[in-house]
Amino acid sequence: MRSKIVAGNWKMNKTLKESKELVKALKKSIKGFTLDNTRVIIAPTYVNLQKVSKSTKKSAIEVAAQNMHQADSGAFTGEISAAMLKSVGVKVVILGHSERREYFGETDALLAQKVDQALKNKLEVIFCFGEVLEDRKNENHFKVVESQIKNALFHLNADAWPQLVLAYEPVWAIGTGETASPEQAQEMHAFIRNLVAEKYNNDVAENVSILYGGSVKPANAKEIFSKKDVDGGLIGGAALNADDFTALIKAI
Ligand code: PGA
């Protein structure tokens, strides 16, 4: 059975002190919860990964990195390798976030390499994709999402898929306060699951968690998460506040 997941992407927010405070508050607030088949993941910045990973070790909170380089090691100033992430206790990495695609020129071809590198190093991947507003307006959103998934993931064998989580994040809904309606999210998630079933089989498709991301807040989470093919959320803004993030975990 696929897991439900609430994952917080902290982006370029929180100093070390602030990260520690947020983790402390989160640990406290989820202590009494039964997290039945639900995973809670947080993705702090690189410099705070080690501390956060250490301080969450005995809790139900898992730690992810926000990005990773595709090479093993070498002259890539400013970059971080899979082995480095693993060495500080990280087991999950977010790849393909729209901000990486837009501001750092990450293409589907590059992301295919990053995915391979992560899987080779036994890191689980939360793979993000989604259309921009223009694609949605032109009704190209299914085509765009299909090509993002095909180009970066469909070279993989079926046995790699248990190491993947998909995150559909319509770019027009990220950080804008605008969310896809629960029906729009469900429609796209069902389309994605069907794509995976057609390429692989029903088993692979039914077992992959597909998260929705884009302005998920305590006020709208319950309705979005209640949809059949929505297995949780990748959260930006609302993950920066312990009360909001806790409310999202409760909503799942
Ligand atoms: P948001 O970000 O929740 O602030 O819209 C989502 C994301 O970028 O993953």
Report pLDDT digits (tens) over 31-65. Answer: 877 788 899 999 999 999 999 999 999 899 999 99
- Which atom of ligand 1 is closest in space to residue 173's alpha carbon? 5
Given the residues 99, 106, 131, 169, select the one marked as catalytic. Answer: 169
For the stretch 178-221, pLDDT in tens is 889 999 999 999 999 999 999 999 999 999 999 999 999 999 99
Q: Give the closest residue (by CA) to ligand 1 atom 7.
A: 236
Cα of 73 from ligand 1 centre, angstroms? 30
For the stretch 95-127, pLDDT in tens is 999 999 999 999 999 999 999 999 999 999 999
Cα of 99 from ligand 1 centre, angstroms? 10
Instruction: Identify residue 213 by its one-letter amino acid code.
Output: G
Q: Give the closest residue (by CA) to ligand 1 atom 1.
A: 236
For the question of residue 139 being annotated catalytic, the response is no
Tell me the CA distances in angstroms from 215 to 24, 123, 164, one per residue in order.
Answer: 24, 27, 23
At residue 201, the pLDDT reads: 98
Domain total in the chain = 1
Cα of 169 from ligand 1 centre, angstroms? 8
At residue 149, the pLDDT reads: 98
Cα of 213 from ligand 1 centre, angstroms? 6
Give mean pLDDT, residues 4-32: 96
Q: Is the Cβ atom of 237 under 6 angstroms away from ligand 1?
A: yes
How far apart are the C-alpha atoms of 40 and 38, rounded to whole Å? 7
**pLDDT of 1 over the 90 cut:** no
At residue 81, the pLDDT reads: 98
Domain membership of residue 213 as a residue range: 4-251
For the stretch 222-243, pLDDT in tens is 999 999 999 999 999 999 999 9
**pLDDT of 150 over the 80 cut:** yes
Given the residues 97, 106, 131, 189, select the one marked as catalytic. Answer: 97
Q: Is the Cβ atom of 244 under 6 angstroms away from ligand 1?
A: no
How far apart are the C-alpha atoms of 221 and 52, rounded to whole Å? 26
Q: Is the Cβ atom of 179 under 6 angstroms away from ligand 1?
A: no
At residue 205, the pLDDT reads: 98
Q: Are 232 and 219 in contact (CB under 8 A)?
A: no
Residue 100 belongs to domain with CATH number: 3.20.20.70
Q: Is the Cβ atom of 175 under 6 angstroms away from ligand 1?
A: yes
pLDDT level of residue 177 (50, 70, 90 thresholds): confident
- Tell me which residue of 139, 151, 213, 224 sits closest to 181, measured CA to CA: 224
At residue 175, the pLDDT reads: 85
Residue 213 phi/psi, 5-degree rounding, is -135, 145
Give mean pLDDT, residues 116-140: 97
At residue 36, the pLDDT reads: 83
For the question of residue 169 being annotated catalytic, the response is yes
- Which atom of ligand 1 is closest in space to residue 237's alpha carbon? 4
Q: Is the Cβ atom of 9 under 6 angstroms away from ligand 1?
A: yes
Average pLDDT, the chain: 96
What DSSP character marks residue 192?
H
In sequence order, the 6+-apart residues with CB closer than 8 A to the CB of 183 are: 227
At residue 179, the pLDDT reads: 87
At residue 31, the pLDDT reads: 85
Cα of 16 from ligand 1 centre, angstroms? 21
- Which atom of ligand 1 is closest in space to residue 217's alpha carbon? 3
**Of 27-31, 48-52, 84-88, the least confident:** 27-31
